[in-house]
Amino acid sequence: MTPYQKRTLSPIAQRMAGDMLVRNLSQRTIDAYTYHVERFARHFDKPLDQLGPEEVRSYQIHLIEVRKASWSAFNQAVCGLRFLYHVTLPRPWVVQQIPFGKRPKRLPAVLGSEEVSQLLACVPLLKHRTVLVTLYAAGLRLSEASHLRLADIDGPRMQIHITNGKGRKERLVPISPRLLHELREYWKADRPSNYLFPGKTEEVPLSSATIQKACKLAAATAGIHKPVTPHTLRHSYATGLLEAGVDLLTISRLLGHSSFITTMVYLHVRRPHLDSTPSPLDWLPVRQCPRWLDPNQAASPNPPGDSEPPTNSKPTDPPESGPAPASA
């Protein structure tokens, strides 16, 4: 159960949840959107049907300046408000004018193979280690890995069936022989019967918070100082495939990206490709730089430090002394 579910929804939020359910949105999305719209109503202490575009604008400023919301949380709130006033409570004003925040474009953090080995070696519990191995070996999202069931692992075909991908999209991901071996050894030790990585009981999956905590603790133990999350392992998987020569279209399909453009970010973190790129400076011809003249001696015919007169100069003959000879 997520923190969003531990509350009673208002009648309008309940109707909004039903509108999202019939549109096949995931429970996680339903919980998040209703959570944000109810916080919006509590901020003004008014029902949702009495709020309009001015309140939306004021609330967005509040999220940025007061609550210091992350851009992901800010845009999630915008999605919830757009759905509310476009579907559940249709309004005459243009809902699409509720602006999204412009997310800063940052390159994803990735780990090299040695760093991944160090990270995995520092996970004390077998279940936690195996779920992190699965995240890295198959490039799964955190929610995809935590919700895997035994039936999703197809050993004979060497495939993982992802049934709860982003946007409820299904896909097949190949299992490497080493990952299959790791999963079998884990199953022999823990004997899960429903979820591959169960939580407190067999009927609930291992929580995302538990996996995130295990990953953070392992990174600190391994002495990895860059920010490391379970999603970092997914980034590292994609970058590793790209460096191994796998084409972007294949990587995009393996990751379950809905847009090929999303996958192109990994072109910017492909180190061998970048490190082998020359600089235009290397192409310039090497020439001897001229010696600089002292501005105070710019009018001098000799370069600074050279006391010898020019070789082609001739001394002026002194005038002859005495009167000039008389003409005949």
Same domain, 179 and 227: yes
Single residue among 72, 97, 122 that ends a domain in this structure = 97
Whether residue 306 is contained in a domain is answered as no
Residue 258, classed as helix, strand or coil, is: coil
Single residue among 256, 275, 294 that ends a domain in this structure = 275
Number of domains in the chain: 2
The answer to whether residues 162 and 149 touch, using CB atoms and an 8 Å cutoff, is no
Q: Mean pLDDT by 10-residue block, N- to C-terminus, for the chain (328 residues)?
A: 61 95 89 96 95 94 92 93 94 86 77 94 96 95 94 94 84 93 96 95 94 96 93 90 86 82 65 62 70 56 53 51 46
Q: Has 128 been annotated as catalytic? A: no
Which one of the listed residues 127, 147, 234, 235 is annotated catalytic? 234
Q: pLDDT at position 291, please?
A: 62
The alpha carbon of residue 140 and the mean position of all alpha carbons in its chain are separated, in whole angstroms, by 14
CATH of the domain at 164: 1.10.443.10
Same domain, 142 and 190: yes
Which one of the listed residues 129, 141, 147, 235 is annotated catalytic? 141
Whether residue 321 is contained in a domain is answered as no
d(CA 232, CA 211) in angstroms, rounded, equals: 13
Whether residue 50 is contained in a domain is answered as yes
Q: pLDDT at position 177, please?
A: 93
Which one of the listed residues 43, 67, 149, 257 is annotated catalytic? 257
Q: Has 257 been annotated as catalytic? A: yes
Q: Decide: pTM greater than 0.75.
A: no
d(CA 37, CA 49) in angstroms, rounded, equals: 11
Single residue among 45, 65, 97 that ends a domain in this structure = 97
Same domain, 234 and 264: yes
Q: pLDDT at position 299, please?
A: 53
Q: pLDDT at position 263, please?
A: 72
Same domain, 85 and 118: no
Whether residue 303 is contained in a domain is answered as no
Same domain, 225 and 149: yes
CATH of the domain at 18: 1.10.150.130
Residue 162, classed as helix, strand or coil, is: strand
Q: Has 141 been annotated as catalytic? A: yes
Whether residue 136 is contained in a domain is answered as yes
Q: Has 234 been annotated as catalytic? A: yes
Same domain, 127 and 224: yes
The answer to whether residues 308 and 302 touch, using CB atoms and an 8 Å cutoff, is yes
Which one of the listed residues 33, 59, 186, 266 is annotated catalytic? 266
Whether residue 46 is contained in a domain is answered as yes
225 CB-contact burial (10 Å; exposed 0-12 / middle 13-18 / buried 19+): exposed
Which one of the listed residues 166, 216, 253, 270 is annotated catalytic? 166
The answer to whether residues 44 and 55 touch, using CB atoms and an 8 Å cutoff, is yes
Whether residue 188 is contained in a domain is answered as yes
d(CA 62, CA 236) in angstroms, rounded, equals: 36
Same domain, 73 and 214: no
Q: Has 147 been annotated as catalytic? A: no
Q: pLDDT at position 268, please?
A: 61
Which one of the listed residues 149, 216, 231, 270 is annotated catalytic? 231
Number of neighbours of residue 78 by Cβ within 10 angstroms: 18
Whether residue 77 is contained in a domain is answered as yes
Same domain, 147 and 219: yes
Same domain, 204 and 134: yes
Same domain, 31 and 7: yes
Same domain, 121 and 233: yes
Q: By residue range, what is the domain housing residue 262?
A: 113-275
Same domain, 68 and 182: no
